[in-house]
Chain A
Amino acid sequence: MALNDEVEMLGNVSLFAGLKPSQLKLLAFTSQHLTFMEGDMLFSQNDSGDAAYVVLCGKADVIVQINGSDVVVATLAENSIIGEIAILCDVPRTASVRAATRLETLCIEKEQLLKLLKEFPAMAIDLMKVLAERLAATTADLSAARAELNKLSKG
Chain B
Amino acid sequence: MLERNILKFTWTHSRPAQIFILFIVLLSMPTYFMSLDLPKQIVNGPILGQGFETAGAEQTFMKLSWTFSGEEWVLFSGFQLERLNTLFALSGTFLTLIIVNGLFKFYINTYKGRLGERMLRRIRYSLVDRLLRFPVRAFRRIKSSEMASMVKDEVEPIGGFMGDAFVQPLLLGGQAITAMTFIMVQNVYLGLIAMFMIGIQFIIIPRMRRHLIRLGKERQITARKLAGRVGEIVDGITHVHVNDTSHYERADISSRLAKIFYIRYELFQRKFFTKFLNNLLAQITPFLFYVVGGYFALQGKIDVGQLVAVIAAYKDLPSPIKELIDWDQQRLDVEVKYTQVVEQFDIEDMLDENLQALPDEAVPPLAFPIEINNLTVTDDTGTTLLNRARLKIAAGTSLAIVGPSNSGADVLADSIVRLHVPDTGSVSFGGTDLFDIGESAIGRRVGYAASDIFLPQGSLRDGLLYALKHQPVAERTYEGPDALTRQRFLNEAAITANSNLDIDADWLCIDNDLAASGEGMAVHQRLVDVLCAAGLEDDVFNLGLRGEVDPDSNPQFADNILAARKALRAHIDDEKLSDLVELFDPQKYAVQATIGENLLFGTPVGDEFAPQNLAQNDYLRSILRDAGLEDVLLAKGVELAETTIGLFQDLPPDHEFFNQITFMDAERLPEYAALLKRAKQTGETALTVDERYMLIELTFSYVEPQHRMGLVDEDLQDRVLDGRNRFKNGLPADLAGTISFYDPETYNAAASVQDNLLMGRVTHGIARGPQRVFEVMSATLKEMQLRDEILDLGLEFDIGSAGKRLSSVQRQKLGLARALIKQPDLLVLNRPLSALDGRQQAVILSDVMKYVTRQTNKPAIVWVVSDAALASDFDEICVMAGGKILETGKRETLLKSGGAYSQVLAE
Contact = CB atoms under 8 A, between A and B. Distances in A.
Contacts of A30: 657, 660
B768 interface: yes
Nearest to B765: A33
A22 B708 contact: no
B765 A6 contact: no
B522 interface: no
A26 B648 contact: yes
A22 B705 contact: no
Contacts of A40: 767-768
A4 B767 CA distance: 22
A2 B710 contact: yes
B766 A35 contact: yes
B767 A36 contact: yes
**Binding site secondary structure of chain B:** loop
A112 B649 CA distance: 17
B766 A119 contact: no
Interface string A34-51: 111100101000000000
Nearest to B710: A2
Contacts of A6: 708
Contacts, number: 54
Contacts of B655: 115, 119
Contact of B766 (A1, A2, A28, A34): A34
Interface string A3-14: 110100000000
A32 interface: yes
A115 B767 contact: no
Interface string B762-773: 001111100000
B674 interface: no
B765 A34 contact: yes
B657 A33 contact: no
Nearest to B768: A40
Given A2-B708, A3-B709, A22 B650 contact: yes
Interface in B629-660: 646-651, 655-657, 660
Nearest to B643: A3
Nearest to B707: A3
Contacts of A119: 650-651, 655
A53 to B, nearest CB: 10
Contacts of A93: none
B349 interface: no
A28 B657 CA distance: 12
Interface in A85-136: 112, 115, 119-120
A25 B766 contact: no
Contact of A29 (B579, B649, B650, B660): B660
A34 B651 CA distance: 26
Chain B interface extent, by class: 20 to 34
Contacts of A26: 647-648, 650-651, 657
Contacts of B765: 32-35
Interface residues of A, number: 23
Contact of A3 (B660, B710, B764, B766): B710
Interface in B735-782: 764-768
Nearest to A104: B765
Nearest to B709: A3
A1 B708 contact: yes
B769 to A, nearest CB: 8
A154 B710 CA distance: 63
Given A34-B766, A36-B767, A3 B648 contact: no
A32 B579 CA distance: 17
Among A1, A29, A40, max chain B CB count under 10 A is at A29
Contacts of A115: 655-657
Contacts of B651: 26, 119
Contacts of A36: 766-767
Given A40-B767, A40-B768, A2 B709 contact: yes
A33 B708 contact: yes
B705 A33 contact: yes
A4 to B, nearest CB: 7
Contacts of B647: 22, 25-26, 29
Nearest to A23: B650
B657 A3 contact: no
Nearest to B576: A37
Q: Which residue, of A22, A28, A42, has the highest number of chain B Cβ atoms within 10 A?
A: A22
A112 B659 CA distance: 12
A29 B648 CA distance: 10
B579 A3 contact: no
B608 to A, nearest CB: 33
A37 B579 contact: yes
Contacts of B650: 22, 26, 119-120
A4 B643 CA distance: 11
A121 to B, nearest CB: 12
B51 to A, nearest CB: 110
A76 to B, nearest CB: 16
A139 to B, nearest CB: 35
Nearest to B646: A22
Nearest to B769: A35
A119 B649 CA distance: 12
Interface in A35-92: 35-37, 40, 42
Contacts of B768: 40
B328 to A, nearest CB: 77
Nearest to A41: B767
Contacts of B660: 29-30
B765 to A, nearest CB: 4
Contacts of A37: 579, 766-767
A78 B765 CA distance: 18
B709 A34 contact: no
Contacts of B710: 2-4
Interface in B107-147: none
Interface string B523-564: 000000000000000000000000000000000000000000
B407 to A, nearest CB: 38
A114 to B, nearest CB: 11
Nearest to A20: B650
B235 to A, nearest CB: 38
Contacts of A25: 646-647
A135 to B, nearest CB: 29
A120 B579 CA distance: 38
Contacts of B656: 115
A38 B492 CA distance: 74
A33 B764 CA distance: 8
Contacts of B708: 1-3, 6, 28, 33
Contacts of A32: 765
Interface in B649-677: 649-651, 655-657, 660
A25 B657 CA distance: 13
Nearest to B708: A3
A41 to B, nearest CB: 9
A2 B650 CA distance: 22
A22 B710 CA distance: 17
Nearest to B766: A35
Nearest to B648: A26
A51 to B, nearest CB: 11
A59 to B, nearest CB: 15
Given A22-B649, A26-B650, A26-B651, 11 more contacts: A1-B708, A2-B708, A6-B708, A22-B646, A26-B647, A26-B648, A30-B660, A33-B764, A34-B765, A42-B767, A120-B650
13 contacts: A2-B708, A22-B649, A22-B650, A26-B648, A30-B657, A33-B705, A33-B765, A36-B766, A36-B767, A42-B767, A112-B657, A115-B657, A119-B651
Interface of B: 579, 646-651, 655-657, 660, 705, 707-710, 764-768
Interface of A: 1-4, 6, 22, 25-26, 28-30, 32-37, 40, 42, 112, 115, 119-120
